Amino acid sequence: MIEQNLSLLLVVIPLLAAPVTAMLPAGRLPWLLTLIVSWTCLVIAGWQLSVVIDGSVISYELGGWAPPWGIEYRIDAMNAFVALILSGIAAITLPYALRTVEKDIPRHQTSLFYAVFLLCLVGLLGIAQTGDVFNLFVFLEISSLSSYVLIAMGEQRRALTSAFQYLIMGTIGATFLLIGIGLVYAETGTLNMVDLNLRLQPILDHRTVHTGFAFIVVGIALKLALFPLHLWLPNAYKYAPSVVSVFLAATATKVAVYIMLRMVFGVFSNDFVRITPTDQMFLLLGIFGVILASVTAIYQTDVKRLLAYSSVAQVSYMVLGMGLASVLGITATLVHVFNHALIKGALFMACGALVYRVGSSQFENLNGLGRQMPWTFSAIFIAGLSLIGIPGTAGFISKWYFMLAALEQQSWLIALVILLGSLLAVVYMWKIVEVMFLRPASDNVASVKEAPVSLLIPMWVLVIANIYFGFYTELTVNVADSAARLLGVAAYHE
């Protein structure tokens, strides 16, 4: 019985905790409550995954209304996997948050900050849990609105413009999604994902369905920062408070990838992808995204922006995986969702540690800092290796599956792009190493100390996870594989 309720608890606990946090006195108390809530969520998410990992499905009817009329929370391996990533990242980010938030956020706003943080988590977890497309839109808006607020809390005034830009773009994207959902609803009269999938199959050639699909895909593509709709992302990540950069970089685009997979393959189906130019579009934009975003990253002079462009490139890999539209491709995408969360989480945490000590992430202020902050630097180095895809790191497992998926279909071009992307990643990660390690230290760095332990521990947990999941792939690969199969994607045939 309790297992039935797990899916709801995962959303309800943080949702109820959010207003409580907002009412707590400023200081460390709100942080503590958020910490407890996020760790509880992690436990529940782990439990939930252990229930559905064998391929079973948890279905929860909200308010006792049976689907397809009521809202259904439908948990299969993919939902549980994404929920685990989200709550895991939240749980690991919060110990990191304590010190950085004290520095970044005025004290009287801390309770509000954590309340909004929890709301953002609610939104993201809700997206992962729900089996209802309109409910998904609602949760998407919850997470988006709260992330606008979180970004706007950044120290510099440009955080406001960045948040505003993101708000405009995010709202347009969400509106597109809503228009799409509306059109599909008009055709089928249902909002439940499973039901939609059934009812859509006979009418896949209807013009309205196609138009609705286009709106949905483009709307999600914006959230996903699909090239060239990524323009909001670099500034949003750069000007956000450090902990928000960490959390959003590791989760926000990944959830959008999940929505894309769920809508395109789960709701519309693989057959639909084949009769529309979706896969070609994914491949085309993915190729451009990997190369151009990586090249752009090379020309950045700010670590945060560099990492942001690298995120766009990495998301483009996932889009390539979707474009291949095979079990292996989707598996690679899901594996990379997990691994990239680990990589970017660690990198943005290290970057936040630099900002914490130096007050800037501009290259010119970081000269020779590697010797002053050896632990932070080593974390960047190892996570960078993982980003590049060196064997023995989690990143390699992703790249390996992307390569397998590409070679399976004899797409030499895609294979080449994947390799080229890795080489470009070497170059841009190298720039950070060069600045921090090979350049002579400038004056402002001489007295800088290593980051506090409360920042280093979460960072290194992620770094070690990067290595751990480079060797032990049962969790990532098996879950991703069974999730891809449950999604109804067929294996590739000639």
Q: Does 276 bind other proteins (CB under 8 A)?
A: yes
The CA dihedral of 217, 255, 432, 153, to the nearest 10 degrees, is 100
CB 165, min distance to other proteins, A: 5
Q: Does 299 bind other proteins (CB under 8 A)?
A: yes
Q: Does 228 bind other proteins (CB under 8 A)?
A: yes
Question: Which stretch in 87-95, 105-113, 190-198, 224-232 sits in contact with other proteins by CB under 8 A?
Answer: 224-232
The CA dihedral of 404, 407, 408, 411, to the nearest 10 degrees, is 130
Structure tokens at 13: 């606990």
Q: How far apart are CA 54 and CA 17, in angstroms?
A: 32
Question: Which stretch in 124-132, 144-152, 196-204, 388-396 sits in contact with other proteins by CB under 8 A?
Answer: 388-396
CB 366, min distance to other proteins, A: 17
- Choosing from 192, 300, 326, 411, the residue that interacts with other proteins (CB under 8 A) is 300
Q: Does 315 bind other proteins (CB under 8 A)?
A: no
Q: How far apart are CA 248 and CA 345, in angstroms?
A: 9
Nearer residue to other proteins within complex by CB, 173 or 345: 173
Q: Does 11 bind other proteins (CB under 8 A)?
A: no
DSSP collapsed to 3 states, 358-427 = HCCCEHHHCCCHHHHCHHHHHHHHHHHHHHHCCCCCHHHHHHHHHHHHHHHCCCHHHHHHHHHHHHHHHH
Crossing angle, helix 77-104 and helix 28-52, to 10 degrees? 170
CA 473 from chain centre, in angstroms, equals 20
CA 113 from chain centre, in angstroms, equals 20
Q: Does 415 bind other proteins (CB under 8 A)?
A: yes
What backbone phi and psi angles, to 5 degrees, belong to 279? -65, -40
Binding mask 110-149 for other proteins (x = CB under 8 A): ----------------------------------------
CB 168, min distance to other proteins, A: 5
- Chain residues binding other proteins by CB under 8 A are 164-165, 168-169, 172-173, 176, 210-211, 214-215, 217-218, 221-222, 228-229, 231-232, 234-235, 275-277, 280-281, 285, 292, 295-296, 299-300, 309, 390-392, 397, 400, 403-404, 407-408, 415, 419, 422-423, 426, 430, 434, 438, 471, 473, 477
